[in-house]
Structure 1
Amino acid sequence: MTTGSAMDWLERTWRPALLLVAFLALWQVVTATGLIAPYLVPSPGDTLDVLVGKWPYIWQHTWVTTYETVLGFVIAAVVGVLAAVAMVYSGTVEKTLYPILLFAQVIPKIAIAPLFVVWLGFGLGPKVLVAVLIAFFPVVISMVTGLKSVDTEMLELASTMGGGPLKTFVKIRFPASLPHLFSGLKVAVTLAVTGAVVGEFVGANEGLGFVILQANGNLDTPMLFAGLIVMSVVGVVLFVLLELAERFVLPWHVSRRGSAVTTTI
């Protein structure tokens, strides 16, 4: 890392880091003074003790949730991109599929998750399916927006130069849609974490959702907070990995908005 990039990274991170330190300090003060009972909100020290002392147990369940999240996200990304392409290139498909997608999106996933358990059992299927359903919509919408945002003059120029639909898609439409697609993917991957955990809430014997549910039932708030923190870290790590992929695939786009507040790297 060069001096310039290190300074840029420091400039982007010192404010959220300071806010995080202030939050931890406030958390410590509130718990140390007894304003809130320990069984309601544990101290940062107690939460850290659980994270360190029971890390093998937590890591085992973290891996399960991460696997469910990544699998659900990949399926949502692939199917979402294919659905978006079909909707852009066919008005009939768009008019048929879009209302159904919108209807499916507004249904609370936690309300229908028990049905998935009944249909698919207590295995991997229900968790992945909930993750797919939650992550699918942002991918479709962002990809459709990206494909439709291509300059019409560019498409007309490609047509006059003999470019067929496939070549125009590969050379013009798809590359131009990538900034929009990555924006949707970064939203989708964080939602996929939530989807996997929601699926675990409904029926599971492993995963961070199971850990959080068990801790809540036992009033083990340090473990509950530890599970929530690890769940958040998983989402942040996956988000940053996508930003790295975006930087690699679209260096021109990232450099153009390198000072944007939504850039974490």
Structure 2
Amino acid sequence: MMKRAVKRGWKPAVVLLTVLLLWEIFSSFFQIPEWLLPAPSQIWQAGIGGWEEFRPHLTATIKLAVLGFVLGSLFGIVTACCLHLLPLIREAFYPLIILSQNIPIIVLAPLLVIWFGFGMLPKLIIIIVVCFFPIAVAALDGFRQTDANLKHYMQMAGANRWQVFQKLEWPYALPSVFSGLKIAATYSVMSAVIAEWLGAGEGIGVYMTLASSSFQTDRVFVAIAYIMALSLVFFAFINLLERIMIKWRPEGS
């Protein structure tokens, strides 16, 4: 697995290093001001020098993102199961779920602050709303893609509705569920940062706001780099969990 990851990852790594090298060269050659566009070396120095100050913000964002992702995932999976097992409820509520995603988070956030204050609850609601949709939709699609012949065979063998769901539909939908989890995992970090803009005391969102207001652009890029790194770590963790839980899935499918 490690060899396969290295084999697949060296090309993106080369592209990233090339971009950073060109960025460094152009920043030095054109003498671009640090407050406008810092060079990668300056961003690196800011990240190393300000680690002690940045660490509490990073920890706060990780806690918020993980908690929101877990709650959003549970809510999305439970909702998908209920909608699949109860067709009447699916017909009534599925369009409303689609419509809920048309509400901009930047508009919903101030309303949540008015309703629930500046505590953790409105921030969690934002992350749950963002993570819930891709998981619920992916799970429903997975349930619908269950092999009809296998389902018919189980029904002929005398399996009831719950047994068909437990033994066939749920395992069949797991790859789709994990696809939704991967999307939600990457969204959870960014939604946590957006939620922290509501008025949190600490977090990467707070760190970015303070840095941008004082024209410390290098610190803004440090925050962006950590956001990207956290998203990749979350994605890799879900991908590893998928490989562990879906060992029956053929390689490459």
- Secondary structure of 2:37's counterpart equals coil
Once the two structures are TM-superposed, the CA of residue 53 in structure 1 deviates from its matched residue by 1.3
What is aligned with 1:236? 232
Find the aligned partners of 1:171 and 1:124 in 2 and give their Cα distance: 38
Work out which of the residue numbers 90, 93, 111 in structure 1 matches 2:86: 90
What is aligned with 1:216? 212
Find the aligned partners of 2:226 and 2:3 in 1 and give their Cα distance: 28
Once the two structures are TM-superposed, the CA of residue 44 in structure 1 deviates from its matched residue by 1.1
Work out which of the residue numbers 50, 57, 81 in structure 2 matches 1:54: 50
8 Å CA contact retained: 2:118, 2:198:
no
CA distance 1:60–1:147, change in 2 (3 Å) = same
Find the aligned partners of 1:194 and 1:6 in 2 and give their Cα distance: 28
Find the aligned partners of 1:233 and 1:7 in 2 and give their Cα distance: 21
Check if 1:256 corresponds to 2:247. Answer: no
Amino acid in the other structure paired with 1:101: I
- Secondary structure of 1:163's counterpart equals coil
8 Å CA contact retained: 1:47, 1:226:
yes
Work out which of the residue numbers 91, 96, 99 in structure 1 matches 2:95: 99
Once the two structures are TM-superposed, the CA of residue 36 in structure 1 deviates from its matched residue by 3.5
Describe how 1:34-183 pairs up with structure 2 within 5 A.
34=30, 36-183=32-179
- Secondary structure of 2:101's counterpart equals helix
Once the two structures are TM-superposed, the CA of residue 163 in structure 1 deviates from its matched residue by 1.2
Q: Give the length in aligned residue pairs.
A: 253
The list of structure 1 runs, each at least 4 consecutive aligned residues, that deviate by more than 3 angstroms after superposition, is none
8 Å CA contact retained: 1:132, 1:195:
no
- Secondary structure of 1:107's counterpart equals coil
Amino acid in the other structure paired with 1:38: E
TM-score of the superposed pair, with normalisation by structure 1: 0.91
Amino acid in the other structure paired with 1:17: A
Measured on the aligned residues, the alpha-carbon RMSD in Å equals 1.4
Check if 1:246 corresponds to 2:242. Answer: yes
Once the two structures are TM-superposed, the CA of residue 6 in structure 1 deviates from its matched residue by 4.5
- Secondary structure of 2:34's counterpart equals coil
8 Å CA contact retained: 1:190, 1:238:
yes
8 Å CA contact retained: 1:28, 1:43:
yes
Once the two structures are TM-superposed, the CA of residue 102 in structure 1 deviates from its matched residue by 1.0
Amino acid in the other structure paired with 2:141: T
User: Gapped runs of 5+ residues in structure 1?
Assistant: 259-265
Once the two structures are TM-superposed, the CA of residue 251 in structure 1 deviates from its matched residue by 2.2
Once the two structures are TM-superposed, the CA of residue 119 in structure 1 deviates from its matched residue by 1.8
What is aligned with 1:261? none
User: Gapped runs of 5+ residues in structure 2?
Assistant: none
